[in-house]
Structure 1
Amino acid sequence: MVVEARPLSGVEARALGSGAVSSADEVVAPEVLAATAPARWLLDQAEAGVPLTQTYALARVVVREAAERWPGWWDAELFGPPHREAELAVLEALHEGLRRLRLVRRGGRRLLTTARGRELAADPGALLQALAADLGAGDAFTESVAVAVLDALRGGESCDWRELDAAAFARVRRQPWAGPDGAPPGERDVGAVVGDVLRRGEAYGLVERFPDPAQPRLRGHRLALSPAGRMVFGGGTATAGPVYVFDATLANVRGVRARIAVRGDQHLTALHDAIQEAFGWLDDHLYSFWLDGRFWGDDDTEYTSPVTPDEASHTAEVPVSELDLSVGAKIAYVFDFGDEWRVRLSLRAIEEADGARYPRVVTRTGQAPPQYPDVGLDD
């Protein structure tokens, strides 16, 4: 199914026509700093390791600190201090999002920042872009609902929850969605997804929630795009460009492969992200691509992780379209220079972009082995 979700794609967040979001700016706009403050706080905490409960939720001490820092997430005056992460739905959404984006990972009973997480924590503009692209959580149905929510909020006026539910349900009814039982989603199903989108938007600093003076306390709220949200989603639509479709074969294990796709305006780092998702890896090691198709091939053809210590190397932060690839081109990719997970990439096709989310995994075949053995995760 094709989802008109371009407002949520990575290129939308990188080509907004607002220099305040650009990661290249020396001075970061205060709207960007305010929006990314919760994410940067959790990433910073996870540098030393955030304690987790037996169910891998954030520990009580972390939950209470979040409630104190962002009192709008929890009414302490009415309910007292929170005890569990599940009580702070916005914090829970933030935790889930950072894990989905592979900016944090679990190491035993601790939450740890990945290399990519450290990189984005130091670049609020790029972090905001990554968060904005995740508003739909990488799910086609959720992205379609999120588009409807954004369309309703773009008008500049605040909306109540019921208006957003109605807008999302109207959009869903125009598309051939069906649940596991084959029936179309009902209003309650759509409303639940709207709630997820709004909590995620608030966690990412893109949506603001404030009491509705016309409604009883705790029952009525108005929703609006935050200043950063208007900065990100209030502009025009970026031009769709070509999509590069690769066949990715895991060289370490026979029969494990995937088909992945990235837009030409996205960097090799996005292709790396798609490989990570395809094979279930955690982005916490260095990696390199060799455009000559040979593992550890010619240095001149190597494009490596932006966090590599070798400053003379080509960085993987280069748009795929600038590599002059033709259909049939072969690329070698190595992840984790210690264990050396090797992937052979072959450019299968160059297509026109649609409204789908990119980068994305199109198909998978076979089961990739675990990145790490079970023993030693607590180390």
Structure 2
Amino acid sequence: MTTKATPNALILRIELLDFEPVIHRQVKVPADLTLADLHECIQLAMGWENEHLYGFRIGRTHYGPDGDGILEDDVGLLDALGRGRTLNYTYDFGDSWEHKITVEKRLAGDPLQPRYVCLGAANACPPEDIGGVFGYLNYLEAVADPKHPEHEDYLEWFDEPLDPAACDLDAINRRLAVLE
């Protein structure tokens, strides 16, 4: 009789919804992380600044830090998921950055390897407070067109135009290293 070992690591796909091309991160995390730990991981992996409210949703259950649902501090990700594989994460209720988190794989991790590591990533995360998906798309259009009425305003707002395809895996992993 064989028994399945309890996983000690997970491979997660974190995808920012409503973008084409896709903005995502694939991260290895400890299997025993709480939803609060997952929030920190998402913030660092995506490049968010952790300045806004957030919440998780698994089916009809809401988890968050502010009492709007179940407090997530002591809730383990695997316990919250049960047999499921996906959950939703909303960051910044004003801009409504919607993320889909998928457990791609449960595995036995190497204890000598970092507990949090980004294995793959695509495209830059939008800047904070840009107005959500439509604000970011407007920003990209405006900085690409010198005749756009907001071109100069956006160039003054940011030191340099954001390259939407830029994604530095080494920089992501340096940020994630603080979670060790």
TM-score by length of 1: 0.30
2:135: which partner in 1? none
RMSD: 2.4
User: Where does structure 1 differ by over 4 angstroms across 4 or more consecutive aligned residues?
Assistant: none
Given the alignment of the two structures, is residue 304 of structure 1 paired with residue 71 of structure 2, yes or no? Answer: no
Partner of 1:372: 129
2:119 counterpart residue number: 362
* Residue in 2 that maps onto 1:107: none
Alignment of 1:27-38 (within 5 A): none
User: What are structure 2's unaligned runs of at least 5 residues?
Assistant: 1-5, 131-155, 159-180
Partner of 1:261: 28
| Shift in alpha-carbon separation, 1:339–1:324, aligned structure 2, 3 A | closer
* Match of residue 88 from structure 2: 332
Query: Do residues 272 (structure 1) and 39 (structure 2) align?
Result: yes
Higher relative contact order (CA 8 A, sep 6+): 2
Do 2:88 and 2:99's aligned partners in 1 also have CA atoms closer than 8 Å? yes
Q: Is the 8 A contact 1:280 1:371 kept in 2?
A: no
- Which residue of structure 1 aligns with residue 52 of structure 2? 285
Mapped partners of 1:251, 1:324: distance in 2: 20
Q: Is the 8 A contact 2:35 2:76 kept in 1?
A: yes
Are the equivalent residues in 2 in contact too, given 1:266–1:320 (CA < 8 A)?
Answer: yes
8 Å Cα contact 2:81-2:87 kept in structure 1 = no
User: Using a 3 Å threshold, how does the CA distance of structure 1 residues 285 and 242 change in structure 2: closer, same or farther?
Assistant: same
Q: CA separation of 1:366/1:325 partners in 2, compared to 1, >3 Å: closer, same or farther?
A: farther
Task: Give the 5 Å matches for 1:133-282.
Answer: 242-254=8-20, 255-282=22-49
Q: Sort the Cα spacing of 1:278 and 1:324 in 2 relative to 1 into closer, same or farther, 3 A.
A: closer
Percent identity for Structure 1 against Structure 2: 22
SS of the equivalent of 1:337 reads coil
Rounded to whole Å, the distance in 1 between the matches of 2:17 and 2:26 is 15
Q: Report how far residue 341 of structure 1 moved.
A: 0.7
Does the residue aligned with 1:262 lie in a helix, a strand or coil? strand
**Inter-partner Cα distance in structure 2 for 1:356 and 1:325:** 27
| CA distance 1:332–1:324, shift in 2 (3 Å) | closer
For 2:29 and 2:86, the matched residues in 1 are separated by 16
**Shift in Å, 1:359:** 3.2
Name the residue aligned to 1:116.
Answer: none
Shift of 1:361: 2.2
User: CA offsets, 1:248-290, max 9 Å, x none?
Assistant: 1111422111112321222112211221122210112111111
- Residue pair 2:33, 2:77 contacting (<8 A) in 1 also: yes
Taking structure 2 as the reference length, what is the TM-score of the superposition?
A: 0.61
Deviation track 1:286-340 (CA, whole Å, cap 9, x = no partner) reads 1111112xxxxx2xx11112xx1x3x621121122322544x6121110011111
Paired residue for 1:190? none
Answer 1 or 2: which has greater helix percent.
Answer: 1
The one-letter code matched in structure 2 to 1:290 is R
What's the CA shift string for 1:58-96, capped at 9, x where partnerless?
A: xxxxxxxxxxxxxxxxxxxxxxxxxxxxxxxxxxxxxxx
The AA in structure 2 aligned to 1:267 is T
Aligned residues: 125
Question: In the alignment, residue 345 of structure 1 is paired with which amino acid?
Answer: I
Return the index of the structure with the highest Cα Rg.
1
Q: Is the 8 A contact 1:248 1:345 kept in 2?
A: yes
The answer on whether the counterparts of 1:304 and 1:316 sit within 8 Å (CA) in structure 2 is yes
- The 1-side partners of 2:81 and 2:93 are apart by 27
Identify the structure with the greater strand proportion: 2
Distance in 2 (CA, whole Å) between partners of 1:277 and 1:367 is: 13
Checking the alignment, whether the CA contact within 8 Å between 2:63 and 2:69 is kept in structure 1 is: yes
Measured at CA, do residues 286 and 251 of structure 1 come closer, stay the same or move farther in structure 2, by a change above 3 Å? same
Q: Amino acid of the residue matched to residue 12 of structure 2?
A: F
Whether contact under 8 Å (1:263, 1:359) holds in the other structure is yes
User: How many angstroms apart in 2 are the aligned matches of 1:356 and 1:273?
Assistant: 19
Distance 1:269 1:362, change over 3 A: farther
Could you tell me how far 1:365 is from its partner in structure 2? Answer: 0.9
SS in 1 for 2:105: strand
Counterpart contact for 1:274–1:360, Cα < 8 Å: no
Partner of 1:322: 79
Whichever residue aligns with residue 262 of structure 1, its letter is: V
